[in-house]
Amino acid sequence: MTRPINFCSGPSQLPLSVVQRMADELMDFRGTGISVMEHSHRDPMIVALFAETAERLKALMGIPSGYHVLFLAGGATLQFAQVPMNLLPRGGRPCYVETGIWSEKAIAECRRYGEPVVIASGRSSNFTDVLPADQWVVPEDAGYVHVTTNETIQGVELFESYAHIQAPVVADMSSHILSRAMSVSEFGLIYAGAQKNLGTAGVTVVIVRDDLIGAALPITPGMLSYQTQAANESMINTPPVGAVYVLSLVLEWLEAQGGVAAIELVNAEKAARLYAAIDGSALYHNPVDPRVRSRMNIPFVLRDASLDTAFLAHCAEARLLNLKGHRSVGGMRASIYNAMSLGEVQTLIDVMADFETRRA
């Protein structure tokens, strides 16, 4: 039986070799005779696994010194609260760029603790575009600027530099971390849930500049203090060891692909081909401004929506899974993260073309 191609936005397809390695090691992690999930997190082997994984991430992303890498639980969604809880005591106004549904959620969560200022919004374009970063009006008393650098649902990705922004830039990179080179030093804090481009659900990577690690709001649970987590190597309590293990395998796989620079070339080609196929067809349509089209999440609609069900059935028959768009925007969406090969994207393009030909 051939493996289906899984276009799910998250949890998403893992590299086949990673899944095979998980299967191989399940009965015996590093010669111990038991699985990684059955080891104490205090075992030096697991402490070393966490340290190694952080080092791999630092090397792959080019994280300079002066940053902590934390492996936390609660998903990217918990960061919507954890960021203001930890950064508001430093003073300044929490500023947000509104690019779509995930940034809306981050803004709403911030409102529980402070008064978020929306400094740029794509709302008037129905989140198919957003003002370029050099035109954002950042207040002088900004405490931080939060950006969702890839909006997973709308398929909007920001490719800009933030170096000109004085306040710390906080980025939700959940759905495109490690998909292309990024200059980490432009950011004060980066977070990403692992289940899109890093591995499996259960761990959220937080990369935080040391000077932003300080006292949190008094109401903050100890678990949610970056300071306490950093002081305890992300092991205040039992951490998600299994998810960190999968993350370590995905990072090793990415190293073997040639790292971020190599995967970026593949990702650019995958997205270019799929957008060209959509734009060149009479049936499919993507509404996003080409300047901000995501390379990872490509939403599209069928111009004749009455064909949606038939299209999804046609894809399912070809073993292409999870192409239905998010319930809030409808239509279709192909999530083509690092683990999706160029050949697999080409299969989707061929199946889409075949459907269009038959229906024409």
Ligand X SMILES: *Cc1c(COP(=O)(O)O)cnc(C)c1O
Q: Is the CB of 101 or the CB of 349 nearer to ligand X?
A: 101
| Cβ pair 273, 349 in contact under 8 A | yes
How far apart (Å, rounded) are the C-alpha atoms in residues 203 and 75?
Answer: 7
Q: Which of 193, 202, 239, 299 binds ligand X (CB under 6 A)?
A: 193
**Among residues 71, 102, 144, 337, the one that binds ligand X under rule CB under 6 A:** 102
- Does position 8 interact with ligand X (CB under 6 A)? The reply is no
Task: Find where tokens 């893992």 sit.
Answer: 14
Q: Tell me how crowded residue 105 is: count the other CB atoms within 10 A of its CB.
A: 15
Q: Does 75 bind ligand X (CB under 6 A)?
A: yes
Closest listed residue to residue 54, CA positions, set 40, 41, 38, 67: 67
The least CB distance from residue 359 to ligand X, in Å, is 32
Which range in 60-68, 167-175, 241-249, 307-315 contacts ligand X by CB under 6 A? 167-175
Classify 51 in phi/psi space as left (phi over 0), alpha (psi -120 to 50) or beta. alpha
- Can you tell me which of 10, 15, 122, 325 binds ligand X, judged by CB under 6 A? 10
Give Cβ neighbours of residue 203 (< 8 Å, ≥ 6 apart): 71, 72, 73, 194, 239, 240, 243, 244, 247
Q: Which stretch binds ligand X (CB under 6 A): 74-82, 85-93, 224-232, 314-322?
A: 74-82
With beta carbons less than 8 A apart as the criterion, state whether 268 and 295 touch.
Answer: yes
> What is the per-residue binding string for ligand X in 13-42, x denoting contact by CB under 6 A?
------------------------------
Residue positions annotated with a catalytic role: 102, 172, 196
Cα gap 294→146, rounded to integer Å: 18
82 binds ligand X (CB under 6 A): no
Output 208 or 351, the one with its CB closest to ligand X: 208
Residues forming the site for ligand X (CB under 6 A): 10, 75-77, 102, 148, 152, 172, 174-175, 193, 196
